[in-house]
Chain A
């Protein structure tokens, strides 16, 4: 059932790719909830992981004391719940990201303020 309704009930999503100038990408830093929730950004799928590590992620998460201690070579990356190993020069599109994909990263050994995941 699409929806209980008296007549035809069809509605389009407001969030399809065509509604945005660039695709939506969600960012989540696992075990770091000082930022309360994952973050949504409009971002070109041509963005490389090098750019992400040097530009986007520091802007989003640089305020956290753990951020400066991240050892990027040890970071585990996830597209949604699927783990993958990105190339620094690889783009989001090349690693399978599309509009409304989730990019999660995990930083082993760094578990938030006093190990609280905060």
Chain B
């Protein structure tokens, strides 16, 4: 009998090499610099392109199989949630407004990121890195789809979810997110990858998808939670790729260090300036509460980011320049954000409200340093006005930062009594910023930011004669004023949820 020939099995490392580096050839009909035309202009110098390896040694075949399995599990949960009328099982219909923010702000950002990563991956001459970035691009598309599907069950029953991509492009309060996406997508491939690793994945994803989504699960939303936890497992890979990339760049050439540090500073800060919404979702929009924004920041950002930079310190990298100021704001950010959004409450795509008595007590307990001193008086005043049938509406057009495009609502480090103003003259024109860090981003590359389309300025040009230009601008992008926004009490969402018997399971569970 013939001896059976043992089929040679490759080790994971060999298989990884065979499906990345071994696929490489240098082009001869056209020079490599022409085929990969964008991987040098940022000033990054790479001497050995083959030196980058995915620390997880993931190959495309393994990737597709793993993602297929994840999708199967995720869609099984979403389907069961929809079949079970899960939308009636959430703690309180106020919570659904957080889903609206995810669909209006986060999902379109993921979609933009997918486009940018797909484009950039094409531009990189390292096969291993190109494949890793392609995986990140398709992950981002998967997250956008998952979040959209997870929200679709709510879209059948609640307002404010019907045309979110258009709102992302046009609604004034979403422009900080869009401007962030535009900035990243118009950067070179390496800047985009550092932005992705340091900004999107380390800050945005961890804070939004871990503590907030745990809170969402606690409030009965298994649909969005299954999408987010599925996405979060991808993000762990992105971070591993990103950190490996940062180390690789710094090790390749000493000239890369200041460039990479500059991107870390910039993208940490730009990402941090997207945090106001995440912070207020955590503290104000989860009716059943577990963890405050401040605790989330300490646990899921402060500790891991410090540990990460301790690991990177031997390479010459330091914490982002905005780090201390960002940490200083943990007592204030959610309250400043909710104050702003409540004031602009009839010019948004979601509802706002004053926290109930128990919730105010919780905020006071979790923010002993700041809440009662600085923020409770405003909320109490708003509550009194609401009780008198005279809800406070801030109809004025907010001054916005030229870089992050947020309303200038942020206070000086350690001085919550003073709004921070920064101003730079460029080519005979004044430009205004919310912080030293946004000002610095501007002065590094002014040509990129002088062309910003600041929403308030555009509204003065187009709706300047209207008594309430913010509202007028939303009406032109299919938002239903008074139905998709305004106070939560007596909204169509609140009345429907009550009539459908929503929230009963949670109440019974608490008895």
Complex: A33 Cα to B340 Cα, angstroms: 9
A34 and B392: CB pair below 8 A? yes
Stretch from A22-30, A69-77, A85-93 contacting the other chain: A22-30
B382 and chain A: residue at smallest CB distance: A34
Residues of chain B within 8 A of A65, CB atoms compared:
381
A36 and B398: CB pair below 8 A? yes
A109 touches B (CB below 8 Å): no
Contact of A24 among B392, B427, B457 (CB under 8 A): B457
Residues of chain A within 8 A of B444, CB atoms compared:
1
Complex: A24 Cα to B430 Cα, angstroms: 11
For chain B, the bracket of interface size reads 35 or more
Contact of B381 among A20, A38, A115, A118 (CB under 8 A): A118
Given A116-B378, A117-B417, decide whether A37 and B41 contact each other with a Cβ distance below 8 A.
no
Contact of B448 among A3, A16, A116 (CB under 8 A): A3
B165 touches A (CB below 8 Å): no
**Which among A11, A16, A37, A116 has the highest number of chain B CB atoms within 10 Å?**
A37
B312 touches A (CB below 8 Å): no
* 8 Å CB interface, A1-32 against B: 1-6, 9-16, 19-21, 24, 26, 28, 30-31
Contact of B409 among A31, A36, A114, A116 (CB under 8 A): A36
Given A102-B423, A114-B377, A116-B378, decide whether A37 and B398 contact each other with a Cβ distance below 8 A.
yes
A34 and B450: CB pair below 8 A? no
A42 touches B (CB below 8 Å): yes
A35 and B343: CB pair below 8 A? yes
Residues of chain A within 8 A of B418, CB atoms compared:
30-31
Given A12-B451, A28-B419, A118-B375, decide whether A36 and B460 contact each other with a Cβ distance below 8 A.
no
A39 touches B (CB below 8 Å): yes
A16 and B429: CB pair below 8 A? yes
SS class of chain B's interface: helix, strand, loop or mixed? mixed
Residues of chain B within 8 A of A100, CB atoms compared:
429-432
B461 touches A (CB below 8 Å): yes
A78 and chain B: residue at smallest CB distance: B421
B277 touches A (CB below 8 Å): no
B482 touches A (CB below 8 Å): no
B453 and A14: CB pair below 8 A? yes
Nearest chain A CB to B379's CB is how many angstroms away? 9
A15 and B454: CB pair below 8 A? yes
A113 touches B (CB below 8 Å): yes
A55 touches B (CB below 8 Å): no
A37 and B408: CB pair below 8 A? yes
Given A15-B457, A36-B407, decide whether A117 and B448 contact each other with a Cβ distance below 8 A.
no
**Which among B398, B419, B429 has the highest number of chain A CB atoms within 10 Å?**
B419
B399 and A40: CB pair below 8 A? yes
A81 and B374: CB pair below 8 A? no
Residues of chain A within 8 A of B23, CB atoms compared:
none
Nearest chain B CB to A10's CB is how many angstroms away? 6
Complex: A94 Cα to B146 Cα, angstroms: 58
B430 and A2: CB pair below 8 A? no
Given A4-B41, A26-B399, A60-B396, decide whether A34 and B378 contact each other with a Cβ distance below 8 A.
yes
A108 touches B (CB below 8 Å): no
Complex: A41 Cα to B395 Cα, angstroms: 12
Contact of A39 among B377, B380, B396, B447 (CB under 8 A): B396
A63 touches B (CB below 8 Å): yes
Residues of chain B within 8 A of A34, CB atoms compared:
339, 343, 378, 381, 392, 394
B456 touches A (CB below 8 Å): yes
A2 and chain B: residue at smallest CB distance: B447
Residues of chain B within 8 A of A115, CB atoms compared:
377
Residues of chain B within 8 A of A39, CB atoms compared:
396-399
Complex: A65 Cα to B423 Cα, angstroms: 30
A47 touches B (CB below 8 Å): no
Contact of B432 among A14, A26, A33, A63 (CB under 8 A): A26
What is A's interface to B at a CB cutoff of 8 Å?
1-6, 9-16, 19-21, 24, 26, 28, 30-31, 33-42, 60, 63, 65, 80-81, 98-102, 104, 111-118
27 contacts between A and B (CB under 8 A): A3-B445, A3-B448, A4-B41, A9-B448, A11-B451, A20-B460, A26-B399, A31-B417, A31-B418, A33-B409, A33-B411, A36-B336, A36-B340, A37-B398, A38-B398, A38-B399, A38-B408, A38-B421, A40-B457, A80-B421, A101-B430, A112-B377, A117-B416, A117-B417, A118-B375, A118-B377, A118-B378
- New A-B pairs, 13, CB < 8 Å, besides A37-B419, A100-B430, A104-B421: A1-B445, A11-B451, A13-B450, A16-B429, A28-B421, A34-B343, A36-B336, A39-B399, A40-B397, A65-B381, A100-B429, A102-B423, A118-B381
Give the 3 A-B residue pairs with the shortest CB-CB distance, closest first. A37-B407, A36-B340, A118-B378
